[in-house]
A and B are shown apart, each in its own frame.
Chain A
Amino acid sequence: MTAAAVVVALIQLALFIFLAPVLVGVIHQVRARMEGRVGAGIWQPWREVRKLLAKNPVHAEGSSWVLTIGPIALLLSSLLLCVLLPLVGTLSLPFLPSDLFVIVSVMLVGVVALALVGLDSGTAFGGMGSSRHMTVAALVEPTVLLAIYALSIPVGTSTLSKIVETRLHTPAVIISPVSVLAMVALAIAIMAETGRLPVDNPSTHLELTMLHEAMALEASGRDLAWLEVGSWLKLTVLLGLLSNLAAPWGVLTDFTIWSVLIGIVAMTVKILLLGTLLSVGEVFMAKVRLFRVPELLAGSFVLAFLAVTASYLVA
């Protein structure tokens, strides 16, 4: 059982490290085609990573080791999420259940690392990005916790792998109103947390409109590579979680060669599909004004709270 869980963890790690740049490539490609352009192809982010690792980083005088260690910490937190979450399979490592609060805290380690990198840059841009990013993170955390709490009530436990397994075995739970409310709230929270529209425009060049990109303005070379890959991994992993909660079919629950292959293929298809939908949705959306973002997040919080109270009264 432990050996099987370790193998599944390694598969998840390898698959997601490979898929993260591909997902971002797919998102950019779909957007390009919809905008009438040709696009650079889905392998462009991989080329970008290769190139970044071939550059000599530049550090400003007076910056500290946070600029080197911070990106690695972000990458590490994303790698931990890859291993801990039920993505390809629901087998957990010994003494490491995919517990709700552990997952959120590991994700927040990455958030804090990125914020500190932004502050250490010593410029107004970095501080601004850091401040906005942490404000959004502060307002998103209640929604995420409540949404997964709502999903955990019908199952009786807050372990994500058990939640996914229950939804796999009793699909009626997925379309229950409580589950739909919780998923909508979770989706909005994930969009805010990973810096997608309408909260943040990932391809903006105007510093005053940046939330997350402003923190990376000072990073170069491999530091920038870790920041980029870490963020892409976080997006991929969270989309994978979302797709597993919405459509858990294909997730492996017992370890056979067929189920592993099906799990890999299913996860890849689900993520790329969700990424395409995300990209198409973003073409129709504009970025919301920064001081309206708390209203949006408060709305998603209300949805999550309704989901929790409803699940008690219905169940």
Chain B
Amino acid sequence: MTALGLGLMAQLGLTLATIIVAFSVPARARSLASGISCALTSTAGALTGALALAGWHGSLSIPFALSADPVELAPTQLGGLFMLMASIVGILVSVYGIGYAHGATASPMSWAALAVFLVGMQLVPAAADAVSFLLMWEVMALGSTVLLLTEHFRRHEVNSAVVWYSAMSQVSFLLILAGFAVLATSAGSTSFAEMRILESDSWAAGIALVLLVLGFGSKAGLVPLNVWLPRAHPEAPSHISAAMSAAMVSMGVYGVLLACVQLLPAGPPWWGALIMVLGGVSAVYGIVQASVNSHLKVLLAHSTTENMGLVFLAIGASVLLRAYHAETTADATLLAALLLTLSHALFKTTLFLGAGAIQHATGEINLDRLGGLLKRMPWTAASFGVAALAAAALPVTSGFVAEWTLLQSLIHGSGIEGTPVAVALVVAMPLGVAVVALTAGVALLTFVKAFGIAFLARPRSAEAAAAAEVPASMRIALVFGALGILAVGILPGPIAEALASTVPANRSPTVRTVGAGGISIPGIGVLLDPATLVVLAALLLVPTLIIVRLNSRRHPIRVSALPWGGGGSRARPRMQYTATSYAEPLVRVFDDVLKPTRDVQVTHLGESRYLIERLQVNQRVTDVIETRLYRPVLNGAQRFGKLARHAQNGSIHRYLTYSFVTLLIVLVVVAL
């Protein structure tokens, strides 16, 4: 039994152990025991993934009664990378859950479902053939659906969210199944190793790719199949939202990478263009929706759409560049996609765990009622702040390194080293850069808003004023998430090398480590060394701080009772800017996309037409895709259903007629 096989078996065994622990340990110690057990499952996954990433080989065959073939788990390097990413998220989420779980979230079913969900997520990248893949995929979906239902007793919105989530989950499953079916029938086998023989120019390959991209894209949260994401992720308990938003969407990315890099490499340019367009539209739409939302978790869910859009933009650019034989930049863009996925997994986990901490401490999740939490919850604020910096792609964080790689590879996307300058590339690369830049700018505003309104200034409600720091296990998870972000941000070289090893480079190595752990892409001729930048900043900071210190000795700070708000007598914390007002200029700029509706109701005083007793303003930002795409489809489906009901009116005579007619038809067909 190879080490990898042992690791895979250990994951399954520990999952079983967690389920037993969850159902047998009494309530007081249940969260601690189950959390530790889940964390161990994920640690096993992390070790297995790391070994697979390093190039070790091994497999596990699980005989499974229903299908003819056993379930084959044999992770490739790419699979190992995604297993590692999912496991890291799993460890953080399990540790966090120990302190966070209470009430329904701490029930045996909930912990058991978490174990099942985590193992499903970890084993999806390990699958070696289509059937095993789909089986693990459904295990993951099942686990997440059960977890989503955790709080349905307390809030009725959960029910609607679960319906949307399950429906879209099955839609994506069907699309993936269809895609794999096309590939399997052409190749004659369901094993991934044997599916590669399909000619990429054939129409079968094209259909398969479109189906797979749509199916995996739906799971990753791409427009237009992302409507479930902002509904489902906020309704789950926060650590589940983190796992879903950080790790489960990465499985969508893994699927597309599987399709584009391993199963159907060397596709025609329109594949790359299609993926780029889907990615670009998702990125812009996602971040614009995130920037105008005041519900912190919905904001983060839309931000997931944006980041996945950027990942797909990178993957699409890679496929497009490879179609035009620009190999070095294609490899660089693929590396950018992997870095973006890793970075997103880390910072989205931390952000959702931070949002959960805020909800745990204050009971509020709407930014308009938070504020002043920096002093009351310093650890949460620091971790959330680092993760927000990463989401905004600012220096010394992983997000900065990932976006730098993406921008550099897009900018150098054509016209280097004698590669032909095709018209498609000339249009696609600048558009890609423009999309990345626009999303980066709006993401900056979104996360300054999220961090600033929640943590700075004065509390906007009594609940926020009464907040206290969260328990130790939650703090540990938050801090380690932030440390992970900083580690990737300051020492990207070795990590990028590990990521690049999962995708075979056609010529010299895609990336090298230079300087103090910096990243260099020799094919393009660019380098980034964040550690040296930090050293330079520290050198500049030292004399500045000396001057500040000297000055503060001679001129101490005086504390005044009120901030300067014009000297008026009615200044109160509620008069501070809220998240809604912060985003208002952006709502105006993007009003064609967001289609805000404003409803003003005026109640006059008595008979007077000039004196007003009450004024009520309702402003809503609608989801254009839902109103323009989904509602008509759902209405059409409902109308069709009503029509079909005529054929099913309950009369036994009609049903007997149906059977008789069917029998006649069968007899006629058999006779012919």
Contacts and interface: CB of A to CB of B under 8 A. Distances in A.
Interface string A212-225: 00000110011000
A138 B392 CA distance: 11
Contacts of A80: 533, 536-537, 540
A308 interface: yes
B529 A95 contact: yes
Interface string A109-151: 1011001100111111111101110110111111011100100
A76 B541 contact: yes
Interface in B452-503: 452-453, 456-458
B444 A137 contact: yes
A301 B434 CA distance: 9
Interface in A192-235: 207, 217-218, 221-222
Nearest to B585: A135
Given A119-B453, A158-B526, A312-B421, A134 B444 contact: yes
Contacts of B551: 53, 222
Interface string A258-278: 000000000000000000000
A109 B400 CA distance: 12
Given A120-B456, A122-B563, A96 B588 contact: no
Nearest to B541: A76
B270 interface: no
Given A62-B458, A80-B537, A141-B438, A112 B558 contact: no
A55 interface: yes
20 contacts: A53-B551, A55-B555, A57-B555, A60-B560, A63-B563, A64-B456, A72-B545, A76-B544, A94-B515, A102-B404, A122-B458, A123-B575, A127-B576, A130-B582, A134-B448, A138-B442, A139-B589, A142-B434, A157-B526, A308-B433
A128 B555 contact: no
Interface in B155-208: none
Contact of A137 (B372, B403, B441): B441
B27 interface: no
A207 to B, nearest CB: 8
Given A56-B558, A123-B571, A126-B457, 16 more contacts: A55-B555, A58-B557, A61-B561, A62-B563, A72-B548, A95-B515, A95-B516, A95-B532, A105-B400, A115-B448, A119-B452, A124-B577, A127-B576, A131-B581, A135-B586, A312-B430
Q: Is chain B's interface secondary structure helix, strand, loop, or mixed overall? A: helix
A142 B573 CA distance: 35
B414 A312 contact: yes
A79 B442 CA distance: 25
Return the 10 tightest CB-CB contacts between A and B, nearest first. Answer: A127-B577, A138-B441, A141-B441, A119-B452, A142-B437, A95-B515, A60-B563, A95-B529, A122-B457, A123-B565
Contact of B415 (A115, A138, A141, A312): A312
Nearest to A9: B536
Given A102-B528, A142-B437, A294-B589, A93 B536 contact: yes
A127 B583 CA distance: 11
A178 to B, nearest CB: 12
A99 interface: yes
Contact of A153 (B415, B440, B588): B415
Q: Is chain A's interface secondary structure helix, strand, loop, or mixed overall? A: helix
Contacts of A106: 395, 533
Interface string B538-581: 00110011001001100111111111111000010101110001
Contacts of B400: 105
A3 interface: no
A291 interface: yes
Contacts of B541: 72, 76
A109 B560 contact: no
A56 B375 CA distance: 23
A105 B397 CA distance: 11
B190 to A, nearest CB: 43
Nearest to A219: B564
Which of B557, B573, B586 has the largest count of A CB atoms less than 10 A from its CB?
A: B557
Interface in A79-102: 79-80, 83, 93-97, 99-102
B623 interface: no
Contacts, number: 244
Contacts of A32: none
A313 interface: yes
A121 B563 contact: yes
A57 B536 contact: no
Contact of B374 (A66, A111, A123, A222): A66
Contact of B407 (A13, A75, A101, A294): A101
Contacts of B564: 60, 121, 123, 217-218
B10 interface: no
A137 B445 contact: yes
Contacts of B436: 145
Nearest to A71: B548
Which of A60, A125, A309 has the largest count of B CB atoms less than 10 A from its CB?
A: A60
Contacts of A83: 536, 540
A315 interface: yes
A156 interface: yes
A57 B393 contact: no
Contacts of A141: 437-438, 440-441, 444
B343 to A, nearest CB: 14
Contacts of B532: 93-96
Nearest to B407: A101
Interface string B611-634: 000000000000000000000000
B394 A112 contact: yes
Contacts of A313: 426
B529 A105 contact: no
Contact of A221 (B395, B445, B555): B555
B414 A146 contact: no
Contact of A105 (B394, B452, B586, B589): B394
A120 B372 CA distance: 9
B411 interface: yes
Contacts of B559: 58-61
Nearest to A307: B430
Contact of A127 (B407, B411, B415, B581): B581
A66 B588 CA distance: 29
B149 interface: no
Nearest to A297: B589
Contacts of B374: 64, 66
A29 to B, nearest CB: 28
B416 interface: yes
A257 interface: no
Contacts of B69: none
B528 A112 contact: no
B525 A54 contact: no
B274 interface: no
Contact of B452 (A109, A116, A145, A221): A116
A191 interface: no
A247 interface: no
Contacts of A54: 555
Contacts of A312: 414-415, 421, 426, 430
A64 B533 CA distance: 27
Interface string B405-439: 00110011011100001000011001001101110
Contacts of A221: 555, 557
B433 A132 contact: no
Given A96-B536, A124-B565, A131-B585, A101 B433 contact: no
Contacts of B528: 99, 102
A127 to B, nearest CB: 2
A76 B392 contact: no
A80 B453 CA distance: 28
B104 interface: no
A119 B552 CA distance: 24
B523 interface: no
Contact of B448 (A61, A75, A112): A112
A279 interface: no
Contacts of A130: 448, 452, 577, 582
Nearest to B371: A122
